Amino acid sequence: MSEKTNGYWNVADSYVRQNNEGKITSLTICYPKKEDEDCIQLTFSIKDVEMIRVKLGVSEIAGLSDALNTNKEWKATHTFEKDGAKTTTYINYQNYFINVARGNSKIALKLTDNERMSMALTLRCLHFQIIERRCRKKD
C-alpha cells in the first residue's frame, strides 16, 4: 500500500479512468491517520463535476473485500440525518462494477480483474490493521 496523505486520511490505493470524451472518474481508498477510528473512506469522483465520500465500518470492509475476491454481489446503505434532512447513500459492487449513489448522483467505475483482486487485498489488509489495533487496545 502506498502511503500518501491528504490531511486527516492516508491514501491506501486509487483507481482512475479516462473515457473517450476526456471525463476522468476515480475511486480512492483511504484510512484515518488516527488509530481511534475503525473505518475507511471511499471517495468516488468525476473530476470537476462530482464527488461522493462514504465511510465503511469493519464488517463492511470485510464484506466488500470478500465480494471482490469471489466476484459476488455486495451492497450497503447508509442513511444520515443532518439539519432535519435525511440523506441516503448506496454502495454496490456487482460483476466488476463498483458504484455509489446519493440523491440524483451516481458514480460508477468498472474494475479490471487485476484491479478487483488488488482492491480486495488492499481492503483485507486494512481490515486486518483495524482488528490488530483493536486487539492491542484490549491489552
pLDDT 10s digits, 16-74: 999 888 899 999 999 988 877 889 999 999 998 999 999 999 999 999 999 999 999 99
Q: Helix, strand or coil for residue 93?
A: strand
* pTM for the whole structure: 0.87
CATH number at residue 38: 2.30.31.10
Range of the domain at 131: 4-138
Q: How many domains does the chain have?
A: 1
* Tens-digit pLDDT profile for residues 105-119: 999 999 999 999 999
Average pLDDT, the chain: 90
Cα 28 to Cα 53: distance, rounded to the nearest angstrom: 9
pLDDT value, residue 2: 43
